[in-house]
Structure 1
Amino acid sequence: MDLDEIPQSSALKEAGDTEQAASAATAPVHSIHDSASDTHSTPQQGQDSCTQMQAESSGGWEDWQSGTYHLFECRFDLSTRENDNGIVKSYTTGEAFNSTVGQSRLQMGIRGDDQKMTNGRENNFFKALKWSPDGTCLLSSSNDNFLRIFALPDATTTTPEDTPLSAGCVIKEGEVVYDMCWYPGMNSADPATCCVLSSSRDHPIHLWDAYSGELRCSYTVTDHCDVNVAPTALCFNLDGSKIYCGSNNMIEIFDTTRPGRDSLKRPTVPTRKSRKGQKGVISCLAFNPDHSDLYAAGSYLKTIGLYDARADELLMLLRDRGSPFSSSTSNATKTTTTITTNNKETETGTRRQKTDMGGVTQLQFSHDGQYLYSASRQDSWIRCWDIRNTAQVLYRLERPGEVTNQRIGFDVSYDGRWLSTGDMNGDISVFDLSCPQDPQVERLKARIRGHDDVVSAAMFHPSGAILATCSGQRKYDLALDSSSSSGSDSSDSSDSEDDGEKMGNGVFKGLSGASKAVVNVVENSVRLWSLPGESVWYVNGQRWGESGMGATDTADPSPLAGSSDVDGTQKDSTPVGAAPVEAQDQGT
């Protein structure tokens, strides 16, 4: 797709070239270093003669150089649980957002609005968090209907103690934000690609400029009565040329270069009364990264559909009816349960929790395209589906979340090895995804206390060295008692996005059996974490330092002579925004 065809704001069009546009706009990502934002850093020329001779002998210097890169590989050790498994706190927003929706909008200069808003007395919690594709900033949505873009701080000039995370760009939406996403080709060096897509209730889809916060264009979804319908799910295809929108029994497709009302409507059911197809509100969308034009759509009616984007047809419908813990449950699920809850021994005996799937809230493919991970509301499990062979659940990863309709986001690391997620108890969990066909693998590798409230998202930085989390849930500044709580509980049969995040009950009962009264605890924050690990070089797909690949008595972690520090770490391997070197050394 030609980047010039992406709709741009008037400020960028008047600026002309890229450099003038970047200087004219107030960039939310002003503290960016290109070397830190690259996930795969290509080594520069100017190596010693020995290394260059090795490269030339293996097919030419250019071929060797293009196949040489370094990655950050996480290392989690269960023996260091008393030290939070080496995960170190870094930058945070602190208590800046511990307020109600009405107070937050007053702070933004919106006066008189707190009285007419129905959710003005609700807690201004963070709903979702997403890294930009180049890793330079974070996009968040909160209960006050604002999108905020946080720049990644420069750890070489700042410290977490004296530099709180602050939003460099704030975007005001008109109503409740349903979904948001980055343009997949986003590069902070090219302002034309710096844009985000959002959907809010009763409004068209908006494409926002991530530098200035201006509205670039809109895409309007209408029903058969010509009434605006806000999609509950948004997703670009892999090259960003198409926008896929999910709504009730419908997937609508827009051309990114043609804003307006022109779209392709693809019903997910032949007729409203038909039993065929995928029924219900399409709540989430995800494209397979293997460029097979396969994408997945989740529904609040507990189904996952696999679609062919070229033929626009449903290929397969996935369901997980679930079963109680028994001999038919995978050993991987049993192992995870034993680690976290020991099958929850209570006074009434062993509680056999069912594993049937709730309304789907998130989907994400593995990086090789062979597996699909799904999360659901009112559900304590993240499922791994084998979509190439059996179309069945291979294993389930347990996280407390069976009594909440709130979306709790997870993420898969860039190398496909780890999965991070929050839960309703305020913990952050990291699971091992290696050997998916082996039911004996112990999946849970780390679980730490992350926030004093629900962790609504836990996202890996594209480099793999940083984890970003956000917290909060819907609360009120009123005293909740048992009678009012029971009357406002949401049922899983609800097929509404607005009801999908209401809790009503302020007392959580985690899988450990201990009640957590968090109704009086308010923590709405975004936090960065430094992960334990090291940067490792790969040459022609083989890890440097392995047998026959640069292995010596004192292994140099770099295939490039003279490019490492005294301690053996790469000078340019630590991403901007990671915790100080001292903190990372403690973690490793």
Structure 2
Amino acid sequence: MAETIRTEVWKPPRLVAGTGDIYQTGICQSHEREENALKGAFGNQLDYRKVVGKTNKATSNVFRSVEWTADGTSLIAVTEDNFIRTFIAPPDLLTSYNPHILLPYSITPTPTTPFTTALYPFFTLSDPSTTQLLTSIHSQPIHLRNLLYPHITASYPLIHPTTEKYLTPHSLLWTSTATHFLAGTDSQIHLFDVSRYNSGPLETFTTGKKRKPGKNKKGISNFFSSSTLQSASTDDANTRSIISALSIHHQHNFLAAGTFSRRILLYSSPYQDGVLTNVINLNSNKTHPQFRNFPGNIKGNGITDISFTDNGNHLIVAERRSNVVYIYDLRYPGEVWSVLMGRRADTNQKLGVAYCSSYGAGENRMENVVVAGGTDGVVRVWTPFEGSIVEEEEGGHLKPVEKFVAARDPVTAVAVHPYGGVLATSSGQRKNINLREETDSESEEEEQSSKEGEEQNKEITEAVKKKRTSGVESELNTGGSEPGVGFNADKIADDGVWDNGVRVWAL
């Protein structure tokens, strides 16, 4: 059954800003385009690409993620070229008729692309001491970096006590007070004190042992001491896997840890006194028996995103290689509460899923929604907590109530502004050969065979250049005759052009 969209009361978001075609190419050429656009005038007057060697990868400059800062003034984006870019939103973002071209205020270099990052929860653009970001990089300590004047503020080594190798966290999370942070590695969660520079973790908690306890031994291996596990078996509690996602409820201080083994560990606190209260096993048939005959790919290959709702009663779970999003009622965690269908994410590439308490503005404002991007470049919106609006299938399958085309390539991240009226998206996909290179190679072969082919190839090249140079303004033109509508799903096709960039939409 086709998806039911509320077209009678909803219009696609209006594109208000974007990076245009600056990064819609290979890494080296994107640096040249960026430098020409900035004309050497960086926000802090320094080009940090000269500090480290340039990344001469043959792939496209994919935007891996994007997120709003806590004060809603800036966007932080991680790209394939081993840089973290800070974009400051213009003051007239919503009042200007023409879309703004986003240029980075600062560019933070990293030796390699970070495995994960964690933005300081009290980020304030006017206070440089708060413009901090945690980064996890292979074979290096965890670094605290300042984004306005890019440099390493502090280091936190995480070293295996036996092999003396650096452990690389796959997830980072600030606590509610931002005095500590958590790092998730292979079967371990580490607690750090931010004020203890150049020091290792205060505590290291193990989620599972290599060998299971013998039959004559009672009890189970718990994450924290004096744990009282509820509704979980010994095998579920002894979770041996990479901690791939972390989330905390800032009011109740609950902690959730997702793993690549499709398990979610729930704790009463992120500190030493925390208690393992429940384990949700997505591999168990008891967890979701009503979805055995679900159409499409429901079983994923590892958790990538988890988030609590505002009241702390529900947990939203997303996986890689899965076309659905799970919602669990933590009061009854034995089985899934609802499944959001329609997500296109059957890929190992991490695609963005976000929960937001407020989405949209004016009459179109909604509360407690889930937003997700897909491999088809479409952003979908669900309202799972408003049964009167969402069309519900048998067995709790929920369809999206809104969708719009945001990119030609997969949407790698979605970020709703703290005030709910603006949505930012990032896009990109690794591609080794682009359309221009294929056309150029064909042109050379045909030029050698005949002169007539040379003229034909020139026309093809000009057509491709016209597509490649299309920026934000040409993207608006694809939305039809109505101004400010945005992308039109029927007119956006995969023409082979790299679509790497950040776009900002007025909801």
* Alignment TM-score, normalising by the size of structure 1: 0.62
Give the alignment partner of residue 315 of structure 1, picking from 257, 272, 277. Answer: 277
Distance across 1 between alignment mates of 2:85 and 2:95: 21
The answer on whether the counterparts of 2:297 and 2:346 sit within 8 Å (CA) in structure 1 is no
Paired position in structure 2 for 1:261: 199
User: Which one-letter code corresponds to 1:206 in the other structure?
Assistant: H
Paired position in structure 1 for 2:11: 85
Identity fraction in percent: 23
Paired position in structure 1 for 2:368: 417
Distance across 1 between alignment mates of 2:8 and 2:390: 25
Deviations 1:497-553 (A, max 9, x none): xxxxxxxxxxxxxxxxx9x9848231001001111xxxxxxxxxxxxxxxxxxxxxx
The answer on whether the counterparts of 2:76 and 2:84 sit within 8 Å (CA) in structure 1 is yes
CA deviation after TM superposition for structure 1 residue 233, in Å: 0.6
The answer on whether the counterparts of 1:183 and 1:196 sit within 8 Å (CA) in structure 2 is yes
Distance across 1 between alignment mates of 2:245 and 2:386: 27
1:211 is the counterpart of 2:148: yes
Paired position in structure 2 for 1:46: none
The answer on whether the counterparts of 1:285 and 1:296 sit within 8 Å (CA) in structure 2 is yes
User: Which one-letter code corresponds to 1:420 in the other structure?
Assistant: V
TM alignment of 1:94-109, pairs within 5 A: 94-104=20-30, 109=49
Deviations 1:56-88 (A, max 9, x none): xxxxxxxxxxxxxxxxxxxx971348xx73421
Distance across 2 between alignment mates of 1:390 and 1:438: 25
Paired position in structure 2 for 1:135: 72
Paired position in structure 2 for 1:281: 242
Paired position in structure 1 for 2:92: 155
Give the alignment partner of residue 496 of structure 2, picking from 507, 511, 520. Answer: 520
**1:379–1:393 distance in 2 versus 1, CA, 3 Å:** same
**1:437–1:184 distance in 2 versus 1, CA, 3 Å:** farther
Distance across 2 between alignment mates of 1:406 and 1:380: 13
User: Which one-letter code corresponds to 1:472 in the other structure?
Assistant: G
The answer on whether the counterparts of 2:316 and 2:326 sit within 8 Å (CA) in structure 1 is yes
**1:216–1:394 distance in 2 versus 1, CA, 3 Å:** same
CA deviation after TM superposition for structure 1 residue 144, in Å: 0.8
User: Which one-letter code corresponds to 1:433 in the other structure?
Assistant: P
The answer on whether the counterparts of 1:204 and 1:219 sit within 8 Å (CA) in structure 2 is yes
User: Which one-letter code corresponds to 1:369 in the other structure?
Assistant: G
TM alignment of 1:497-576, pairs within 5 A: 518=494, 520-531=496-507
Deviations 1:195-221 (A, max 9, x none): 111112222111111321222111111
1:236 is the counterpart of 2:174: yes
Deviations 1:424-467 (A, max 9, x none): 00001111132479996565211111111101111110000000
Give the alignment partner of residue 264 of structure 2, picking from 279, 285, 304. Answer: 304
Moved more, 161-170 or 241-250: 161-170
CA deviation after TM superposition for structure 1 residue 183, in Å: 1.0
Distance across 1 between alignment mates of 2:80 and 2:391: 41
CA deviation after TM superposition for structure 1 residue 282, in Å: 0.8
Distance across 2 between alignment mates of 1:112 and 1:148: 15
The answer on whether the counterparts of 2:307 and 2:316 sit within 8 Å (CA) in structure 1 is yes
Distance across 2 between alignment mates of 1:438 and 1:264: 47
Deviations 1:469-509 (A, max 9, x none): 0100111127999xxxxxxxxxxxxxxxxxxxxxxxxxxxx
Give the alignment partner of residue 119 of structure 2, picking from 182, 191, 194. Answer: 182
**Corresponding pairs, count:** 397
Distance across 2 between alignment mates of 1:327 and 1:217: 48
Find the residue that maps to 2:290 and give its secondary structure.
coil
1:447 is the counterpart of 2:375: no
Give the alignment partner of residue 110 of structure 2, picking from 173, 196, 203. Answer: 173
Paired position in structure 2 for 1:476: 432
Find the residue that maps to 2:84 and give its secondary structure.
strand
1:393 is the counterpart of 2:393: no
User: Which one-letter code corresponds to 2:377 in the other structure?
Assistant: G
Moved more, 399-408 or 127-136: 399-408
The answer on whether the counterparts of 2:16 and 2:100 sit within 8 Å (CA) in structure 1 is no
CA deviation after TM superposition for structure 1 residue 353, in Å: 2.5
CA deviation after TM superposition for structure 1 residue 399, in Å: 3.8
Distance across 2 between alignment mates of 1:328 and 1:360: 21
Find the residue that maps to 2:106 and give its secondary structure.
strand
The answer on whether the counterparts of 2:170 and 2:245 sit within 8 Å (CA) in structure 1 is yes
Distance across 2 between alignment mates of 1:85 and 1:216: 44
Paired position in structure 2 for 1:250: 188
Paired position in structure 1 for 2:101: 164
Gaps of 5+ in 2: 36-46, 213-234, 359-366, 393-397, 439-489
The answer on whether the counterparts of 1:322 and 1:357 sit within 8 Å (CA) in structure 2 is no
Find the residue that maps to 1:139 and give its secondary structure.
strand
CA deviation after TM superposition for structure 1 residue 147, in Å: 0.6
Distance across 1 between alignment mates of 2:94 and 2:374: 33
Paired position in structure 2 for 1:426: 377
Find the residue that maps to 1:98 and give its secondary structure.
coil
Distance across 2 between alignment mates of 1:318 and 1:366: 17
Paired position in structure 1 for 2:413: 457
Distance across 2 between alignment mates of 1:360 and 1:207: 25
Distance across 1 between alignment mates of 2:207 and 2:369: 35
CA deviation after TM superposition for structure 1 residue 252, in Å: 0.8
Distance across 1 between alignment mates of 2:238 and 2:28: 42
1:360 is the counterpart of 2:297: no
User: Which one-letter code corresponds to 2:290 in the other structure?
Assistant: S
Root-mean-square deviation (Å): 3.3
Paired position in structure 2 for 1:293: 253
The answer on whether the counterparts of 1:370 and 1:388 sit within 8 Å (CA) in structure 2 is yes
**1:303–1:439 distance in 2 versus 1, CA, 3 Å:** farther
Find the residue that maps to 1:521 and give its secondary structure.
coil
**1:283–1:268 distance in 2 versus 1, CA, 3 Å:** same
User: Which one-letter code corresponds to 1:424 in the other structure?
Assistant: T
Gaps of 5+ in 1: 1-75, 335-351, 482-513, 532-588
Distance across 1 between alignment mates of 2:502 and 2:343: 20
The answer on whether the counterparts of 1:222 and 1:228 sit within 8 Å (CA) in structure 2 is yes
Distance across 2 between alignment mates of 1:214 and 1:199: 15
Distance across 1 between alignment mates of 2:404 and 2:284: 28
Paired position in structure 2 for 1:66: none
**1:269–1:328 distance in 2 versus 1, CA, 3 Å:** closer
Find the residue that maps to 1:328 and give its secondary structure.
helix
CA deviation after TM superposition for structure 1 residue 260, in Å: 1.6
User: Which one-letter code corresponds to 1:285 in the other structure?
Assistant: L
CA deviation after TM superposition for structure 1 residue 356, in Å: 2.3
The answer on whether the counterparts of 1:413 and 1:460 sit within 8 Å (CA) in structure 2 is yes
**1:240–1:327 distance in 2 versus 1, CA, 3 Å:** closer
CA deviation after TM superposition for structure 1 residue 191, in Å: 2.3
**1:123–1:86 distance in 2 versus 1, CA, 3 Å:** closer
The answer on whether the counterparts of 1:322 and 1:354 sit within 8 Å (CA) in structure 2 is no
Distance across 1 between alignment mates of 2:320 and 2:263: 12
The answer on whether the counterparts of 1:377 and 1:407 sit within 8 Å (CA) in structure 2 is yes
